[in-house]
Amino acid sequence: MKKIITLAALLVFTLSSLSCSSDDSSTTETPAPVDLLIGKWDLKMTDLKTTKDGKVTESYENQPSLNKLIMQFNFKADKTVVYTMKNVTTGSAQTLKGTYVRNGDSVVLSFENVPDPVTYKILNLQKIKLSFHRLQEFTTKEVKNGVEVEVKTKIENTYHLERMYY
């Protein structure tokens, strides 16, 4: 009986030491971060505010595109971007190809044959929704009451886009 208890104890000890393995030696790979910006995005709504010399001349929020203006961005993993805009009413269309650089909450687009890069501030980026904002400021000369004057113009656009899956 003593031999049976000793053998049983030895068997339990052997099995317990074999079944436990150290997790310290295993390496877990950290998955690469997913860049939600990559993919095709379709314009759904626009916000616009234009001011001249501090006076609002045009303003609207959440203006739906109503399929009159098709605007799409296709951000690719190789840091290239294709921008397409089509006015359904007039039939005019424009496609620009270029590159993009993402830095925190901003994305800078540089298009072929367009001299200046375009910077957008990302306001919202989720799996299916993207909103970004563009601010343009410039000075023009206009004639008012027969006198040429400089007019400071500020245009703020916010684009609300949804991911395309087709």
Q: What is the pLDDT of residue 95?
A: 96
Structure tokens at 26: 């295993």
Domain around 100: 39-163
Q: Enumerate long-range contacts of 136-143, CB under 8 Å, 24 or more apart.
A: none
Which amino acid is it at 91? G
- Calculate mean pLDDT across residues 125-137: 95
Q: How many domains does the chain divide into?
A: 1
Cα gap 35→29, rounded to integer Å: 18
- Calculate mean pLDDT across residues 30-45: 85
Strand partners, 109: 100, 118
Residue 59 has pLDDT above 60, yes or no: yes
Query: Are 157 and 46 spatial neighbours (Cβ–Cβ below 8 Å)?
Result: yes
- CATH number of the domain residue 140 falls in: 2.40.128
- Residues 95-105: pLDDT tens digits? 999 999 999 99
